[in-house]
Structure 1
Amino acid sequence: MKQRIITAVIAGAGFITLIVIGDWPFTLMMIVLATIGMSELLKMKQMKLFSPIGVLSFILMWILLLPETILKSDWLHIDKLEMFLLLIIVLLALTVITKNKFTFDEAGFIILSSVYIGFGFHYFIYTRFLEQGLAVLFFIIILVWATDSGAYFAGRLFGKNKLWPEISPKKTIEGAFGGIILAFIVGIIYVSFVTIFNSWLITIFFIFIVSISGQLGDLVESALKRHYAVKDSGQVLPGHGGILDRFDSLIFVMPILYLVNLI
């Protein structure tokens, strides 16, 4: 517990500081976190990080992660999406060239992982550099934290009905509702001091989407770990596991908020 608290304080302070600073230090932090997250997924799949396939996996993820201001592809006369699709074709061709030593299953895993990590952290960067980006990003982080905390304590106190025991045996329906309720309480307090939206209807919708999708993101990572029979995604954060163990909710929330036009 002591190690967990020390890690949380040090890592949390550094993380918040770089969010506030913004600019290239924040972007660099996101690139590092995304790269570690991708490496955790490749290790789950027991794929070598420094093999040609491993390097190609990182390149795929970086293409989706990096903003257009950093990743300029004008000289290639193709945009980021076209570059990503081209590398997918290369991956699929490798299944034939290697005579299935590199399998279709592995190609699919790499593509899905690069989208999961790349877009998740990309929209983290995207949100920070919006006009109200700092306030919005802190709002999202606080809502995810409130959801996690509310779910934990409500589950401990009132939890009787399992939410999805095949995926996460400890999570309960009561805990899930507790997370949503605390997210609303904390969210309403936050917007009472910091104006995010001009409409209460949009604010309520925003809180609901963040809380629900955050819990779904947590379940997605639990399903991954259960499938690959690992307790934690990594060991980079002593007492807390890996980067994906800490950012699973956030990187799932960010693209959803973008898709529903809330960021």
Structure 2
Amino acid sequence: MKQRVVTGVLGGAGFLALLVWGGYAFAGLLLLLAVIGMYEYNRMNRMNPNGLSAGVALIGTILLVFPWSVWTNWSPNWEAIAWVTLFALFAITVLSKNKVQLDQVALLFAGMVYIGAGFQYMLLTRLSEHGLFWTLLICVCIALTDSGAYFTGRLMGRTKLWPSISPNKTVEGSIGGIVVSIVAACCFTLYAPELLSVGQAVRLGLVIAVVGQMGDLIQSAYKRVRGIKDTGSLLPGHGGVLDRFDSWLIVFPFIHLLGLLP
């Protein structure tokens, strides 16, 4: 527990510092996390992370997350990156005479989109107008959803939410996490009422909590299928990048695709 707390405090402080700094620093951090996350994903799926197909998927992930608007005046179309990467992966199945099989290609492409798009939308949020405000709001709501669900579940949890996937999660805990997330989002209206109305805050808090918990369950289900506890050991006591950012990788794209940010 002590190791978990120390890692959480130090890691959280470092992440917050780079988030506030923004620009090159935050973009570089997300790029690094995406590379590590893809490595964890390949290892979790028992694929050689140094193989040609894994390398192609990694390049596609990097191109998706790369902060083009920060470091260049040119920005490629992300659909083109995804399609060219998919074509290259398909070509490898042919050139390898099916030593690299179609199910491997599907897993690699899914990982590229999951990790690449997730970190890409985190970066887009931070680089947007009032980006620090919106990024902090989403991050705080995600973190407090987890805490609210944990403590509510400990105090009042009776009904198992999804025992075959995550035996410790309860319906009561899930509802508690949603309520805490909505309250947290509404608190941001006190700081900047001109940016966020109460109605917007309620919608954001609700969506972040529900989608964030689903992201957590998705990763839990995947790890259970693969028979592993953590995706990595980068953060002692917390696991790997995919363990810590499972909700984030789902929430940030969802918020943008639903048009919930101005």
TM-score normalised by the chain length of structure 2: 0.94
Per-residue deviation at 1:162?
1.3
Out of 135, 148, 153, the position equivalent to 1:150 is 148
Per-residue deviation at 1:39?
0.7
Following superposition of structure 1 onto structure 2, how do residues 125-136 of structure 1 map, counting pairs within 5 Å? 125-136=123-134
Contact 1:73 1:79 survives alignment (8 Å): no
Contact 2:93 2:99 survives alignment (8 Å): yes
Per-residue deviation at 1:192?
1.5
**Which residue type is aligned with residue 251 of structure 2?**
V
Separation in 1 of the partners of 2:91 and 2:51?
17
The aligned counterpart of 2:54 is: 54
Separation in 1 of the partners of 2:201 and 2:74?
37
Separation in 2 of the partners of 1:262 and 1:57?
30
Worse-matched range after superposition: 93-102 or 210-219: 93-102
Worse-matched range after superposition: 81-90 or 223-232: 81-90
Per-residue deviation at 1:109?
0.4
Q: Structure 1 157/85 Cα, relative in aligned 2: closer, same or farther at 3 Å?
A: same
Q: Structure 1 196/92 Cα, relative in aligned 2: closer, same or farther at 3 Å?
A: farther
Contact 1:136 1:196 survives alignment (8 Å): no
Separation in 2 of the partners of 1:144 and 1:192?
19
Separation in 1 of the partners of 2:212 and 2:203?
14
* Gapped regions of structure 2 (runs ≥ 5): none
**Which residue type is aligned with residue 103 of structure 2?**
D
Separation in 2 of the partners of 1:196 and 1:150?
28
Per-residue deviation at 1:73?
7.0
Following superposition of structure 1 onto structure 2, how do residues 74-89 of structure 1 map, counting pairs within 5 Å? 79-89=77-87
Q: Structure 1 71/37 Cα, relative in aligned 2: closer, same or farther at 3 Å?
A: farther
Contact 2:182 2:201 survives alignment (8 Å): no
Worse-matched range after superposition: 135-144 or 190-199: 190-199
* Gapped regions of structure 1 (runs ≥ 5): none
Per-residue deviation at 1:89?
1.5
1:232 partner SS = coil
Worse-matched range after superposition: 187-196 or 94-103: 187-196
The aligned counterpart of 2:202 is: 204
Worse-matched range after superposition: 124-133 or 157-166: 157-166
Separation in 2 of the partners of 1:65 and 1:27?
8
The aligned counterpart of 1:229 is: 227
Separation in 2 of the partners of 1:202 and 1:224?
33
Shift >4 Å, 4+ stretches: 70-74
The aligned counterpart of 2:104 is: 106
Per-residue deviation at 1:83?
3.3
Separation in 2 of the partners of 1:196 and 1:136?
13
Per-residue deviation at 1:95?
2.0
**Which residue type is aligned with residue 42 of structure 1?**
N
Percent sequence identity over aligned pairs: 38
The aligned counterpart of 2:63 is: 63
The aligned counterpart of 1:162 is: 160
**Residues 131-162 of structure 1: per-residue CA shift (max 9 Å, x gap):** 11101111111101110011101111111111
**Which residue type is aligned with residue 235 of structure 2?**
L
The aligned counterpart of 1:8 is: 8
Q: Size of the alignment, in residue pairs? A: 260
Per-residue deviation at 1:16?
0.4
TM-score normalised by the chain length of structure 1: 0.93
2:250 partner SS = helix
Separation in 2 of the partners of 1:142 and 1:30?
18
Separation in 1 of the partners of 2:163 and 2:126?
36
**Residues 162-194 of structure 1: per-residue CA shift (max 9 Å, x gap):** 111222111111110010111122222232223
The question of 1:26 aligning with 2:26 is answered yes
- Please tell me the root mean square deviation across aligned C-alpha atoms, in Å: 1.7
